[in-house]
Amino acid sequence: MKIIEVDKIIDPILASDGAGVKLKRSIGVEPNYFDPFLMLDEFGSKNSDDYVAGFPAHPHRGIETVTYMLQGEFEHEDSTGAKGRMSSGDVQWMKTGSGIIHSEMPAMSEGRLHGFQLWINMPAKLKMSKPEYIYIDSEKMSVHKDDDKKVKVIAGKFEKAQGPVRGHNVEPVYFDVELNKDKQFNSKLPSTHNSFIYLINGEIEIGEKKHDKVKDSTLILLSKGEDLKVKANTNTKFLVISGKPINEEIVRGGPFVMNTKAEILQAVQDYHNGTFVK
pTM of the model: 0.95
Strand partners, 25: 13, 41
In-domain check, residue 73: yes
pLDDT digits (tens, 9 = 90+) for 151-172: 999 999 999 999 999 899 999 9
Nearest alpha carbon to residue 98 among 257, 262, 272, 243: 257
Sorted by sequence, the CB contacts under 8 Å of residue 80 that are 6+ apart come out as 100, 131, 277
SS (H, E, C) 225-266: CCEEEEEECCCEEEEEEEECCCCCCCEEECCEEECCHHHHHH
Strand partners, 142: 153
pLDDT digits (tens, 9 = 90+) for 139-149: 889 999 999 99
Whether the pLDDT of residue 8 is over 80: the answer is: yes
In-domain check, residue 1: no
In-domain check, residue 199: yes
In-domain check, residue 116: yes
pLDDT at 133: 87
Contact 121, 63 (CB under 8 A): yes
In-domain check, residue 278: no
Provide the domain limits for residue 149: 6-273
- The number of domains in the chain is 1
CATH of the domain at 219: 2.60.120.10
Distances, alpha carbon 113 to alpha carbons 72, 74, 142, 220, in Å: 5, 9, 23, 24
What is Dmax (Cα atoms) for the chain?
Answer: 58
Whether the pLDDT of residue 203 is over 70: the answer is: yes
Count other Cβ atoms within 10 Å, centred on residue 11: 11
pLDDT at 112: 84
Say what percent of the chain tops pLDDT 90: 75
